[in-house]
């Protein structure tokens, strides 16, 4: 569950100040070592004003997605990859790749799958979505997953359809951001409505603070549990 009083490190762990125990840490540049070849994140505590490169881990991130090494790809290839990401051939390649997700909980887990919630549509019972989201957040070992369209996202010749619903385009994105940030997503798959925005993907930006997997159209996932299964 999103909480503005919590700070997460790059691994998704909730961290706090080792001096006073407060959770009001903020990133404050980097400390460089060994002739500037190694750098470490500096954290500033808003409570006691101390700085540290070794914050205390208060809550361990319950899962981690397999990392990809962007430094192994030449910049020219990386740019070409970004330009071609929406092409059909690339989509097919992404669908066929099995992505490993390491589960750090030693015990049973559950996944609540949302299907095309269309959070901004007048026909959506948003009270039930919030109700189920609260249940997921309160249940230990429970994660959320989304299969498709979070909102209507009318664009182009369909933009006039905003006149037939009570939520404006701006309000729709505010609702989308609220819904995405409310849950701890194991995965979030964008549907055709979501990706109509083109190469500028607001959902990708909204998911920046989430540790879960974000993909367009579909994904193949492999859950690895502590017992080796």
Q: How confident is the model at residue 136 (pLDDT cuts 50, 70, 90)?
A: very high
Average pLDDT taken over every residue of the chain? 79
The length of the chain in residues reads 229
Task: Name all domains of the chain by residue range, CATH numbers in brackets.
Answer: 7-59 (no CATH), 63-224 (3.60.21)
What is the pLDDT at residue 132? Answer: 93
How do residues 154-173 score in pLDDT, each as one tens digit?
455 555 655 556 677 788 88
What is the pLDDT at residue 197? Answer: 55
User: What mean pLDDT comes out for the span 201-218?
Assistant: 75
Burial classification of residue 161, based on how many CB atoms lie within 10 Å of its CB (0-12 exposed, 13-18 middle, 19 or more buried): exposed
Per-residue tokens: 110: 């559950």
Place of tokens 């071609």: 84
Q: How confident is the model at residue 38 (pLDDT cuts 50, 70, 90)?
A: confident
Is pTM, for the whole model, over 0.85?
no
């Amino acid at each position: 569950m999103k909480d503005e009083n919590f700070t997460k490190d790059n691994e998704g762990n909730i961290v706090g100040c080792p001096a006073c125990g407060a959770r009001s840490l903020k990133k404050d540049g980097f400390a460089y070592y060994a002739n500037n070849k190694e750098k470490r994140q500096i954290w500033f505590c808003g409570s006691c004003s101390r700085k540290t490169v070794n914050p205390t881990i208060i809550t361990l991130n319950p899962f981690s997605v397999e990392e990809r090494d962007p430094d192994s790809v030449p910049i020219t290839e990386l740019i070409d990859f970004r330009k071609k990401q929406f092409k059909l051939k690339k989509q097919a390649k992404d669908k066929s790749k099995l992505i490993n997700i390491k589960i750090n909980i030693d015990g049973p887990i559950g996944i609540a799958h949302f299907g095309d919630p269309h959070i901004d549509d007048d026909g959506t019972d948003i009270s039930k979505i919030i109700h189920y989201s609260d249940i997921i957040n309160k249940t230990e070992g429970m994660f959320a997953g989304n299969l498709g369209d979070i909102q209507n996202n009318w664009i182009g010749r369909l933009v006039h359809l905003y006149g037939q619903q009570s939520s404006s385009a701006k309000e729709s994105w505010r609702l989308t951001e609220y819904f995405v940030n409310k849950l701890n997503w194991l995965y979030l798959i964008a549907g055709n409505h979501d990706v109509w925005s083109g190469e500028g993907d607001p959902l990708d930006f909204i998911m920046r603070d989430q540790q879960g997997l974000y993909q367009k159209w579909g994904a193949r996932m492999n859950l690895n549990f502590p017992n080796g299964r």
